[in-house]
Amino acid sequence: MVKESSFFSKRSVSLYQHNERQLLVFMRNNYIFAFNFSPLFSYPDLSFSAPGGSYIVVLDSDDSTFGGFDRNDKSSIHRTQDINGEQRLSLYLPSRSALVLNKRNI
């Protein structure tokens, strides 16, 4: 993944951060990294500003391969929505999990 994408060619940009809810979302190049560090709370509709477009999941720490519960559909295409003139992306982010999404031209 890193070798194919010139991953380190750009700095990371914070998209969403909430210390009390233990959430962190940032973007680097065309990848969005979303982390939920909370051991108690899942967020079924976490919404945050993101560059407009379509995103696919390239890594889900909740996948059964990693001992998770497969709570996300890996075949889903996540698209931003225009809400009051702002592009927003919504994700389901289970407790103690991380998602990596890649922006695609779909």
Which domains does the chain carry? 2-104 (2.60.40.1180)
What is the pTM for the complete model shown? 0.89
Token output for 59: 């890594």
Beta strand extents in 2-83 (DSSP E only)? 12-18, 23-28, 31-36, 43-49, 54-60, 77-79, 81-83
Show the DSSP H helices in the chain as ranges: 2-5
d(CA 87, CA 43): 19
Q: What is the pLDDT of residues 71-106, one digit of tens each?
A: 988 889 999 999 999 999 999 999 999 999 999 986
d(CA 27, CA 40): 25
Q: What is the pLDDT of residues 31-43, one digit of tens each?
A: 999 999 999 999 9
